[in-house]
Structure 1
Amino acid sequence: MKILHNAGVDPAPRRSGPTWRQFLTAQAHTILACDFFTVDTVLLKRIYVLFFVEIATRQVHVVGVTAHPTDA
């Protein structure tokens, strides 16, 4: 905020639209979240996992699990 003030940039005006919570609630049926993470096994192998979560239903879709993410 101080940087913007020093640069002469005024604060953004208040908006009359929906709040962030209202927007997310209205759009939840179309929003997906994704994550890519690794799992180290007891055999000292690393596995890479990519998955998506449907926000509205909280349904998880595991898209890929591999030990070699750069292979075809």
Structure 2
Amino acid sequence: MDEILADAGIRTVLTGIRIPRMNAVMKRWVQSCRRELLDRCLVRNERQLRHALREYERFYNRHRAHQALDQAAPLRAVPAPITDPTRIAELNIRRRDRLGGVLHEYSHAA
């Protein structure tokens, strides 16, 4: 099996024997990917699937809020809270659509 994966350009990573949660973490990622991406779009070929998975990976790691990280993304810290009432009343939120509107990123406009 390792040779078949290597021919396809996939590197096999063995998990440690003392890491019982590794499988659970990957199952959670696959479940999120299926629910948030693959259940919402029609994939026609492998090239389109790879592109969609790359975009979802970027979205998941750089933008999507994670409850376990106090609503931060793995590669982005939580922004400082806005406590000034005048700034809250004048918030300008921008939405960026990814993958034709399947994924949405929201940010404060400068």
Please tell me the TM-score bracket, short chain as reference. Answer: under 0.3
Larger relative contact order, structure 1 or 2 (CA cutoff 8 Å, min sep 6): 1
Please identify which structure carries the higher strand content: 1
Q: Rg bigger for which structure?
A: 1
Please identify which structure carries the higher helix content: 2
